[in-house]
Amino acid sequence: MTQEEIKRHRVESVLKEIIPEALGTLDDERINGLSVTDVVCSKGRSDAKVYMDKSFLNDKEQGEALKQLRRVAGYIQNHCKQSEGWFKAPRFVFEFDHQPEHQSKMEDLFKQISKRKTNNENPEDNSDES
């Protein structure tokens, strides 16, 4: 791992902690309770994608939350700069994290495969015993 990658991972880790703090200071209930699942910075750390948990929001609420997050992105950027003493902070792009859905689908598929494997093994076992 290069020195630049280490710095980028540190910034991502710090942002995962600071962004929820910044959201918590806002009066907007649509976004102050959102949790950050991941932050991915660009190579030069000038941009960062912030992935949010969407498990408690329907589609309409997700759209409203993203609009509001875009509006307060500058405030969150300033909060990060001030709290860490940085000269500049990355520009934030907010998205909802689809990873938990994909993991759930994968787990379901593995369960189905396991059931089929078990069902296919049982008839062979029963025929041998007869």
Phi-psi region of 92 (alpha: psi -120 to 50; beta: other; left: phi over 0): beta
Whether residue 109 sits in one domain with residue 92: no
**Residue 50's domain spans which residues?**
3-97
pLDDT exceeds 90 at position 94? yes
Beta bridge partners of 50: 39, 94
Residues in the chain, overall count: 130
- pLDDT recorded at residue 93: 93
Whether residue 110 sits in one domain with residue 86: no
Q: How many CB atoms lie within 10 A of CB 76?
A: 23
Whether residue 68 sits in one domain with residue 114: no
Q: What is the CATH number of the domain that holds 27?
A: 3.30.300.20
Whether residue 28 sits in one domain with residue 67: yes
Whether residue 121 sits in one domain with residue 88: no
Query: 14-51 in b/e burial notation, b at 16+ Cβ within 10 A?
Result: bbbebbeebbeebeeebbeebebbebebeeebeebebb
Helix axes 73-84 and 59-71, enclosed angle (nearest 10):
60
Whether residue 55 sits in one domain with residue 103: no
- pLDDT recorded at residue 99: 66
Query: How many independent structural domains does the chain possess?
Result: 2
- pLDDT recorded at residue 126: 52
Whether residue 92 sits in one domain with residue 103: no
Q: Does the reported pTM lie above 0.75?
A: no
